[in-house]
Structure formats: C-alpha cells, structure tokens
Amino acid sequence: MGKVLVTGAAGQLGSEIRAIAPSEGYIFTDRHLLDISDKEAMALFIDLNVIDTIINCAAYTAVDKAEEDVENADLINHIAIKNMAEIAREKGLKLVHVSTDYVFDGKNHKPYIEEDTPNPTGVYGKTKLAGEKAILQIAPANSIIIRTSWVYSGYGNNFVKTMLKLGKEREQLGVIYDQIGTPTYAADLAEAILEILPKIDNPKPEIYHYSNEGAISWYDFAKEIMKMAKRSCQINPIETKEYPTPAKRPHYSLLNKAKIKKDFDVTIPYWKDSLSACLTKLGERR
C-alpha cells in the first residue's frame, strides 16, 4: 500500500495534519526537503517513497508581498500545482489541494458555492485560481480542491496569535469590522481531510468549500479572542479604508459548505467552539 505525501508540512495545516496522522504511512515535506516546483524531482521522490496520495498544503500565502513577488507566487501557487496534477494523472495518485476564498472578489451577499464564478482581485488570489484551473484542465481522477478561509492554528503566525501578543502589549487595538467571513481552525480542516481521504472516488476533479460554521467580522473575532483569553485590551472597530494594504481583501468571503457535508458526511464545528479549543491548546483559555 502506498504512502501519503503531505507538502507544506511546516505550515499551519501541514503541522496540524502531522499532529493527528498515523505514525506510519505519511511522509511530510517542506520546501527544504522537496522543491514542488521541480517536476522531475517530485516525480522521483514519489516513486522512491511509493506515494499514492498527495495532500498539498504548500502555498505562497504572503498576500501583500505577492503583489510585487509575482513570479514566486505563481511558481508555488500555480506551476507547482500544474506539476502535481500532471504527476497525479500519470501515476494514478489521489490529490487533495487546498485553495482559498481569495479566488472570489468578495462582492457576494450570500455564501459562495463551488459553482460561483471566481474573480480574484490580487496576485495571491489570481495565482491560486490558476492552480485550481490547472487541476481542472489536467483532470486527474480522484482529485479534489478544498477552498478555505481565515485559517489559524496553534502553529505558525496567524491572526489569533497576533491578537494574543498585541493584547498583552497594548491597551487598545483597531480591528476591521467591514470584512465578513468565517475563521477556520486548521486542526478541524486537518481532521476533515483525513476523514475524507479514504472516501475520495471521483472520475474528475471536484471543488469543495470548508470553513468553520458561523459568520463574523475580524472585529468580532478579535473581541472573542480577548474575552476568552481574559485580555483587558479594548478592541475598536475600524473600516477597511482606515487600514490600507497592498492587496485588496474580500469584503465578504462566507463559503457555503453544503456540498462537502453532503458528499462526505463531514461535521463542521462552530467557530467559537474551535477558537476555545485552540486557545486551550495554547494555554490561553481563561
């Protein structure tokens, strides 16, 4: 029986998968161990390690930096994914690729379904969409794309850990209230992926959406982090225009998760419960 290759294993999602995956049958790589943009190197690695499944957690996620670093963002988010899809088709591998809500422009007024037309506004979203399109065009069987949003974890750098740090250092903070979405605890997504893996059986690529349940703003999220962690830092609502960034953020990025729940019988936790679980793991739940 073949092994499962998890790329981007040093990131938030890859780290969470490593934490719960069986001790045997999984191989974890990061950019120092395997260059996913080098197709020959990747194909050789897959053959030598008898891989039959790829879970791709690797991505260029520096959203603002991508506006200037277009070539590298495209290399990791598009070209590498094209290579993976070609290898998956040639060798008959399962492929799970993680994508993003940034493929949409954020102008919807109801949760995005998988069939909604993407319209990314920045380099990050455009390169991630190009990666999706490569998979759909190459069409390896037993491949799925999972779009997610607002990912945080006990690992790496993320909004939750930033708020905890700033909540100690400052008396008050301004946080954006006019961007609406749902946080995704990477541990929940990791569990969902491992649950889904043996059930994947589709002749052509399928797209799915996954985030935690609920709908909030970044302001609401920050308020709840401070409340659960018992930080005295006051959170003040600000508009997006008061916090300009090189890359435009989607104002509305709620994802409809009916398809993944229906096809794989996945149970998705409520965002507040997941935040509590993450803070408990970090030793910050008071």
Known catalytic membership, residue 26: no
List Cβ neighbours of 212 (8 Å cut-off, separation of 6 or more): 182, 183, 184, 185, 188, 268, 269, 270, 271, 274
The domain segmentation of the chain, as residue ranges, is 3-158+184-214+253-269
| pLDDT the model gives residue 17 | 98
Cβ atoms of 61 and 8 within 8 Å: the answer is no
Task: Note the pLDDT tens digit of each residue in 44-103.
Answer: 999 999 999 999 999 999 999 999 999 999 999 999 999 999 999 999 999 999 999 999
Task: From the candidates 102, 124, 155, 177, give the one annotated as an active-site residue.
Answer: 124
Give the whole-angstrom CA distance, residue 169 versus residue 216.
Answer: 25
CATH of 3-158+184-214+253-269, one of 3.40.50.10140, 3.40.50.300, 3.40.50.720, 1.10.1240.10: 3.40.50.720
What's the predicted TM-score (pTM) here?
0.96
Pairing of strands 180-181, 216-217: antiparallel
Task: Note the pLDDT tens digit of each residue in 31-40.
Answer: 899 999 999 9
List Cβ neighbours of 257 (8 Å cut-off, separation of 6 or more): 208, 209, 210, 211, 213, 268
